[in-house]
C-alpha cells in the first residue's frame, strides 16, 4: 500500500481545516488488507470461537498453543520487519487484525498484547542483535511476550516505579528487584519487557527471559472478565539480566514505555471497535427472533432508535480509527529499522493525541453498544450461556487498559496548550477569529454535506474559545483543573470523531453505499451536537461570570439550534430497517 502522505500533524485538526484527501478511510483498504482481515476472521471463527468454553475456563497452555498457530498464519508477524521474520506490513494492517480479533474475548487480549506492547519495544528500540535474536521467534509464536510496567504503587503514574536495577561488580549483568502486577500473558510468556530504575532513579527498559535466574510468576488473578487471558504478578528477586538485554539507553525507558503505549491505545481502539460490531450483531440477531406483544421486538420504534444510534457510533469510531491508522503509518512507517531512537520516539509521539482519542472512543463506543445490546436481550442478557453476557463483562476492562480513560482525557488538551506555549499556534488571533464567528453565527457552509461541515467548524471555534477562557482563568495552574481539562478533551474528541465522519462521507459519498453513509453521518452529527452543547454550556458556566456569562449562554443556545435535524426519527428507522434485514453492521 502507498500510505497517505503525511499532510496532517498531530493535533492539527483542532485549529485547521482538514481535506478529505488527507485521510485514510476503510474504503481505501487494498486487496492485501482484505486478505489479512479474512485470514484473521477465519482463524477466530475456526479456532477460537468453537473453543470459547475451554479458553474461558482458563486453559492457558491451550491459549498459548492457539497463539503459536496464529503465528504460523502470519497473524503475529504483521508489525515485524521482513528481515527479522515478519511481514513488514503497515499500521492499517495492524489495526485490521486487531479489529478481527475484537470478538475473541480473552484470546484477543493475549494476542494483541503480544503483537503490540510486548513486541514493538524491541522492533523500534532494540539493537540489531536483539532484533535478530528475539523478533523471528516473536513473529512465529515460538516465543510469547509480555509487557511489565504496572507495580503496586505505580499504575497511571508509571514513572513512579519502585523496581530497581543495579549493575553487578563484573559489569556483566543488571540485578533487578521488585514486583510487577496485572501482567497479561505472564503465565506462558517467554520474554518480558520490564521497566526498572537503574541505581534507583534512571528509568530503563530491559528484555527479560522467563528462565533468567530470579524471575518467578505469581498465581492467576481471578478477574471479572477476559478470563481467557492470563493475568499474574511477575516477581524479580536478584534477577540476573545480561547487559546486552538492556533495551534502549539507561535512563531513557520513558521514551519506550510511553510512546509504545500510544500504539497500544491505537490498537485497543480497533479491538474494541471489532467487539462493538460483534455486540451489535448479537443484538440484531436477538431482536429479530424475540417476540413481545405478538411481534418481534425489532419492530418497536425504541428498539430501532437504539440500533440506529449504536450503528452511528460504530461508524464514527471506524472512521476515526482508520484515519488515525493512516496518520500513524505516514509518520512511523519508515522507522521500523532505524537506530535513531530519538527520531523513532518523536514519530511515535506525533499522533499521541489522536491515539488517546482512539482508545477513549473505541472503549466507550463498545461500552455503549454492548450495554444497549444486553438491554435489548432483556433478562436473557443477564444469563450465562448468552454470548452478550460474556461480552458485557469482557468490555469493562477496556476503559482501564492502556491508561484509564480519565488519564487519556487529561493528556488530550495538553497538546494544544503546549503548542500555544511554544508559539506554534497564534492563540490570540485564533481566539479573536473564533469569537467573531460565534457572534456572527455564520456557520452554514455551502456544498455537499454543508450542515455536517458547518457543525465541525462550529465545534472547532468552541474549542478555541473555551480553551482560551480556561487559560485566561487558570494560567499555568491549568494542569490542576482536571474537571475543565476533561471537558476540553470531550470537545476535542467530538471534533475529531465528527470531522472523521464528515471527511470519510465526503470522500466516499458517491460509492454504492454513499447514501447509507450519509444517513449514519447525520445521525452521528446529532449525537455529537447534543454532547457538545451540554459540555460547552458547562464550560462556559464555570469559566465566565456576570453579564458576559449570561450573554454567552444565551448566544450558545441559539447557535446550536440549526444543527438538530427535522427528520431524525424517520432516518433512524430507515437505518434500523437495513441493519435488521442484514443482521450485522453495514458501512
- Which residues are tagged catalytic? 402
Where b means 16+ CB within 10 Å and e means fewer, 142-158 reads ebbbbbbbbbeebbeeb
Alpha carbon 191 to its chain's center:
25
Closest CA to 131 of 191, 67, 187: 191
User: Rounded to 5, what percent of the chain is helix, strand, coil?
Assistant: 65, 10, 25
CA distance 223 to 424: 46
In this structure, what are the phi and psi dihedrals at residue 353, rounded to the nearest 5 degrees? Answer: -60, -50
Q: How far apart are the first and last CA of the chain?
A: 22
Distance CA 317, CA 276 (A): 10
SS3 of 3-67: CCCCCCCCCHHHCCCCCHHHCCCHHHCCHHHHHHHHHHHHHHHHHHHHHHHHHHCCCHHHHHHHH
Q: Residue 202 belongs to what H/E stretch? A: strand 202-209
Question: What is the 3-state secondary structure of 484-497?
Answer: HHHHHHHHHHHHHH
- Beta partners for residue 338, in sequence order: none
Nearby residues of 546 by Cβ (< 8 Å), 6 or more positions away: none
Phi, psi of 174 (to 5 degrees): -95, 140
Residues belonging to the chain: 587
How far apart are the C-alpha atoms of 260 and 254, rounded to whole Å?
10
Amino acid at each position: 500500500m502507498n500510505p497517505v502522505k503525511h499532510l496532517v500533524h498531530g493535533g492539527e485538526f483542532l485549529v485547521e481545516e482538514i481535506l478529505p484527501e488527507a485521510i485514510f478511510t476503510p474504503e481505501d483498504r487494498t486487496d492485501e488488507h482484505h486478505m489479512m482481515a479474512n485470514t484473521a476472521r477465519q482463524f477466530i471463527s475456526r479456532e477460537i470461537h468453537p473453543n470459547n468454553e475451554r479458553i474461558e475456563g482458563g486453559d492457558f497452555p491451550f491459549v498459548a498453543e492457539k497463539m503459536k498457530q496464529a503465528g504460523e498464519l502470519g497473524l503475529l508477524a504483521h508489525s515485524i520487519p521482513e528481515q527479522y521474520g515478519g511481514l513488514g506490513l503497515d499500521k492499517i494492517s495492524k489495526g485490521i487484525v486487531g479489529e478481527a480479533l475484537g470478538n475473541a474475548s480473552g484470546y484477543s487480549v493475549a494476542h494483541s498484547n503480544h503483537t503490540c506492547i510486548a513486541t514493538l519495544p524491541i522492533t523500534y528500540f532494540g539493537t540489531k542483535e536483539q532484533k535478530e535474536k528475539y523478533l523471528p521467534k516473536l513473529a512465529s509464536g515460538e516465543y510469547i511476550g509480555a509487557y511489565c510496567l504496572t507495580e503496586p504503587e505505580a499504575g497511571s503514574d508509571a514513572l513512579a516505579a519502585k523496581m530497581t536495577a543495579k549493575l553487578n561488580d563484573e559489569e556483566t549483568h543488571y540485578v533487578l528487584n521488585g514486583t510487577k502486577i496485572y501482567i497479561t500473558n505472564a503465565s506462558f510468556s517467554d520474554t518480558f519487557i520490564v521497566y526498572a530504575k537503574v541505581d534507583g532513579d534512571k528509568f530503563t527498559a530491559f528484555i527479560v527471559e522467563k528462565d533468567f535466574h530470579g524471575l518467578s510468576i505469581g498465581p492467576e488473578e481471578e478477574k471479572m472478565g477476559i478470563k481467557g487471558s492470563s493475568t499474574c504478578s511477575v516477581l524479580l528477586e536478584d534477577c540476573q539480566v545480561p547487559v546486552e538485554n538492556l533495551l534502549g539507553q539507561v535512563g531513557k525507558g520513558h521514551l519506550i514505555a510511553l510512546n509504545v503505549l500510544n500504539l497500544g491505545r491505537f490498537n485497543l481502539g480497533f479491538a474494541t471497535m471489532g467487539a462493538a460490531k460483534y455486540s451489535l450483531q448479537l443484538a440484531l440477531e436477538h431482536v429479530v427472533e424475540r417476540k413481545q406483544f405478538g411481534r418481534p421486538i425489532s419492530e418497536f420504534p425504541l428498539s430501532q432508535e437504539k440500533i440506529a444510534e449504536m450503528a452511528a457510533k460504530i461508524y464514527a469510531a471506524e472512521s476515526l480509527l482508520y484515519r488515525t491508522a493512516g496518520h500513524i503509518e505516514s509518520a512511523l512507517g519508515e522507522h521500523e529499522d532505524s537506530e535513531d531512537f530519538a527520531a523513532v520516539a518523536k514519530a511515535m509521539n506525533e499522533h499521541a493525541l489522536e491515539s488517546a482519542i482512539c482508545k477513549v472512543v473505541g472503549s466507550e463506543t463498545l461500552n455503549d453498544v454492548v450495554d444497549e445490546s444486553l438491554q435489548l436481550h432483556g433478562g436473557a442478557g443477564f444469563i450465562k450461556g448468552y454470548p452478550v453476557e460474556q461480552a458485557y463483562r469482557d468490555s469493562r476492562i477496556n476503559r482501564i487498559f492502556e491508561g484509564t480513560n480519565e488519564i487519556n482525557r487529561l493528556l488530550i488538551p495538553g497538546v494544544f496548550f503546549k503548542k500555544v506555549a511554544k508559539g506554534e499556534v497564534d492563540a490570540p488571533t485564533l481566539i479573536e477569529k473564533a469569537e467573531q464567528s460565534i457572534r456572527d453565527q455564520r456557520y452554514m457552509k455551502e456544498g455537499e454535506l454543508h450542515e455536517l461541515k458547518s457543525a465541525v467548524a462550529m465545534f472547532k471555534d468552541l474549542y478555541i474559545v473555551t480553551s482560551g477562557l480556561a487559560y485566561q482563568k487558570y494560567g499555568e495552574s491549568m494542569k490542576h483543573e482536571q474537571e475543565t481539562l476533561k471537558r476540553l478533551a470531550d470537545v476535542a474528541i467530538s471534533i475529531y470523531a465528527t470531522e472523521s465522519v464528515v471527511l470519510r462521507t465526503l470522500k466516499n459519498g458517491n460509492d454504492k453505499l454513499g447514501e447509507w453513509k450519509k444517513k449514519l453521518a447525520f445521525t452521528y452529527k446529532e449525537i455529537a451536537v447534543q454532547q457538545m452543547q451540554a459540555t460547552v454550556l458547562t464550560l462556559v458556566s464555570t469559566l465566565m461570570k456576570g453579564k458576559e456569562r449570561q450573554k454567552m449562554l444565551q448566544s450558545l443556545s441559539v447557535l446550536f439550534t440549526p444543527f438538530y435535524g427535522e427528520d431524525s426519527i424517520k432516518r433512524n428507522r430507515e437505518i434500523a430497517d437495513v441493519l435488521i434485514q442484514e443482521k450485522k453492521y453495514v458501512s
